[in-house]
Structure 1
Amino acid sequence: MRTKSNSDVSIGVCTPGAISPATGVMKNSNTQCLIGKPLKDDLEDRLDQKVSLENDANCFALAEAVLGAGKGNNVVFGVIMGTGVGGGIILNEKIHRGRHFIAGEWGHHVIVENGRECYCSNKGCVEAYISGPALEKRWMELTGEKKRMENIIPLFNNVKYRDILLKWKIEFLNLFGQALANIVNILDPDIIVLGGGLSNIDFLYEVGKQAVYDHVFSDVIDTSIIKNKLGDSAGVFGAALLGEIG
């Protein structure tokens, strides 16, 4: 690529966490082995090439805003819900990182005072309640059964689990609605695009959307909350876009 290009090229990398603007090392990563490491500098030294390194949720949001479900909208909020909970803000096809590179980090809004401990050392974070591992933990508390998310959702057709599933679902939707409504109240995006493994849960786009609307400070609310179009490739597309428009 370097030899065939007539211009400078860079390698785009998406990763959990972000580079601290103060120290140049990684921070806020749920891949905790990266925290405190000069990942961008290390990659550039090893590859002898400019590297554009970006938070994975920002890469997802950028790709969906430019190429995917959010295309044509000026203000796009991209949501990652899977192993962790993250988000990215795209304004006119540009990543908005904020002064401290934490813009969009709704996973670390506190929604339950003195609640569950989060890996970030805070208590009651969104991620501690509606990430995949958190929802699996809650299922274990309610049933005594250890199950993965992909094995919990099909149980909605099982009469044996009806009452427990209803409780689990209501708790999930209430927290999802409150947390995402905070984003709408602050950012008021044109569209919200859901990604990550939990974006495959169908009820998030029906009763989940209504749970968000119930907490929004507006007499009229029509913010689209839709599933991503680029799937697992969104991060790759976003990384590829970094050098050009990110």
Structure 2
Amino acid sequence: MSWDWGIDLGGTKMECVVLDGDAVVLRERQPTPRDTGYQGIVDAIIALVERCAVALGRRPEQLGMGTPGARDPQTGVMKNCNTTELNGRPLKEDLEARLGIPVFIANDANCFALAETHLGAVRAGNPEARVVFGIIMGTGVGAGIVINGQILNGHHGIAGEWGHNVLSPDGPECYCGKRGCVETFLSGPALEAWYRDKSKRRLSLPQIAAAAAHDHTARQTLDRLHRLFGQAIANVVNILDPDVIVIGGGVGNIDSLYTAGRESVLPYLFNPRFTTPIIRPALGDSAGVFGAALLARGTFKEALLG
């Protein structure tokens, strides 16, 4: 059996993993050289793959890659990347030309959902789930949809982009050009900024969560998180009705999200009860790179519906 190679390309780091089935053969991280531009990022990806190939004594036969954005299925170039150097660039084709192997690209949230479905929390606790909604709530907010084990990509390649649904058209400006996106309310930086604006104090999100028992503004911050999370998730459930929701990212570490946040879904739901499991991930910050490796696995090659 050939090994599965994956790269998770992020704004601050890139990581390579090589899997033999479920076992990790090799794993290596390095900073993403944002200051070198697009070509420098491509060069760094190539160097990382080649370095891992030398360490293992064999080169990949194909490569899966998770990216902070999406490859437009109609134009072939990258879009919606907060690593903006990638936008408008034919990353897949450039890597294939340099490496001489097929490269399979998916959004990092799609890779997260794929990994938790097949290697992580969904496989462990909800193995019969047919529709999985995998959320990343961290510096940004995104999501991926897995249906019958395959990523749903969509006609425009944007399926699952929950973070850029508009919750309030009068809300904060988003980097995407709209106002009031889910990300501008529910990302870690957005929650910290709201607390800072109200309290005139600067706390990290874990500190805000810890202070909620005695700090009125911290309590308000979490109450607002629960309410807006419920509203935003209900919109997804009304349309997709997933069998399980798994939450990754730093905001997902807030315990009350799974109790009070969950209870906030029902008032916005087109159903008299809400029974969908909302679970924590099992793979931590490894999920994205594991999902990227699964893209290169025979079963999941071009693991994209739509």
Bin of the TM-score, shorter chain as denominator length: over 0.9
Write the deviation string for residues 98-145 of structure 1: whole angstroms up to 9, x where unpaired. Answer: 111111111010001221110000111000111011111111111112
1:98 is the counterpart of 2:151: no
Q: Deviations along 1:163-185, whole A, 9 cap, x unmatched?
A: 21222112111111100111100
Give the aligned residue type for 2:131. Answer: V
Unaligned 5+ runs, structure 2: 4-52
Does residue 1:126 correspond to 2:182, yes or no?
yes
Quote how far apart the aligned CAs of 1:55 are: 0.3
2:286 aligned with 1:230: no
- CA RMSD for the aligned pairs? 1.7
Task: State TM-score, norm by structure 2.
Answer: 0.75
Count residues in correspondence. 241
Tell whether the 8 Å contact from 2:96 to 2:103 is kept in structure 1 after alignment: yes
* Aligned equivalent of 1:89, options 138, 141, 145: 145
**Shift of residue 45 of structure 1?**
2.3
CA–CA separation in structure 2 for the residues paired with 1:146 and 1:37: 38
Could you say what secondary structure the match of 1:189 adopts? coil
3-state secondary structure, aligned to 2:122: coil
Question: Contact 1:68–1:230 (CA<8 Å) still a contact in 2?
Answer: yes
- Residue range with higher mean Cα deviation, 38-47 or 55-64: 38-47
Q: Structure 1 residue aligned with 2:217, among 164, 171, 175?
A: 164
TM-superposed CA distance for 1:20, in Å, is 1.1
Asked whether the 8 Å contact 2:265–2:274 carries over to 1, the reply is: no
Find the aligned partners of 2:146 and 2:168 in 1 and give their Cα distance. 28
Amino acid at match of 1:25: V
Among 130, 155, 173, which residue is 1:117 paired with? 173
Distance, in Å, in 1 between the alignment partners of 2:96 and 2:200 is 48
**Which has the larger strand fraction?**
2
Matching residue of 1:70 = 122
Gaps of 5+ in 1: none
Aligned to 2:37: none
TM-score, L = length of structure 1: 0.92
Secondary structure of residue in 2 paired with 1:240: helix
Contact 1:76–1:191 (CA under 8 A) maintained in structure 2: yes
Distance in 2 (alpha carbons) for counterparts of 1:146 and 1:9: 49
Query: Matched residue of 2:163: which SS?
Result: helix
Higher relative contact order (CA 8 A, sep 6+): 1
Check whether the contact 2:212–2:222 (CA below 8 A) recurs between aligned residues: no
Matched residue, 1:9: 61
